[in-house]
Chain A
Amino acid sequence: GEDVEQSLFLSVREGDSSVINCTYTDSSSTYLYWYKQEPGAGLQLLTYIFSNMDMKQDQRLTVLLNKKDKHLSLCIADTQTGDSAIYFCAENGGYNKLIFGAGTRLAVHP
């Protein structure tokens, strides 16, 4: 079945780069997504990548897609304390359904 896996926790120093990794199983996914959840809030779409791309850059965010290995990464440059949140990877499971990973909690310390 479909499954999305990500590591649960990442700690980085302010100003460093963060790399959050994700693996997925459904090779037919059209889009892959990164959502951000701040404490006590709902999920907010950060960025997405179409499956025929291998990289997408959006300001401090870079998404890398290795379709052969079904591996997705979110890179945050110059990580700030405001980036502290839970980051969810998701794949399109067909019929507009999203399959989410368990989320990676990013902690940014001075």
Chain B
Amino acid sequence: NAGVTQTPKFQVLKTGQSMTLQCAQDMNHNSMYWYRQDPGMGLRLIYYSASEGTTDKGEVPNGYNVSRLNKREFSLRLESAAPSQTSVYFCASSIPGQQETQYFGPGTRLLVL
């Protein structure tokens, strides 16, 4: 099992460019999440998907869109990148009921100039 995988690992964008961060899990988990991690602020939830076909906003959804393509894949899109979106982005997945443990991917480091 690869667990949770994310691509790309690093990306540099110019202000106004768009990009999609990809996430996939092979653990047959129902729920998937996107977080951003900024220094001194821990992880903040951007969007989550409780099951295939559903998505909901988290704490900081502005400037992002998501797609739950199928049970395995959950993508995060920045339509018009801003310097404030410079961050490390983590994808996670979980099965409700198993102590609600979330399993994290290795992260995508994004720099917006």
Contact = CB atoms under 8 A, between A and B. Distances in A.
The finding on whether chains A and B are genuine partners in a shared complex, rather than unrelated, reads yes
Interface of A: 4, 8, 30-31, 33, 35, 40-45, 48, 50, 88, 92, 95-98, 100-103
**Band of interface residues on B:** 20 to 34
A97 B101 contact: no
Interface string B4-45: 100000000000000000000000000101000000111111
12 contacts: A31-B99, A40-B107, A42-B4, A45-B103, A88-B43, A96-B48, A96-B96, A96-B100, A96-B102, A97-B58, A102-B41, A103-B42
B94 A96 contact: yes
Contacts, number: 57
Contacts of A4: 42
Contact of B104 (A31, A42, A95): A42
Interface of B: 4, 31, 33, 40-45, 48, 50, 56, 58, 90, 92, 94, 96, 99-107
Contact of B99 (A48, A95, A101): A48
A43 B96 contact: no
Given A42-B104, A44-B104, A101 B58 contact: no
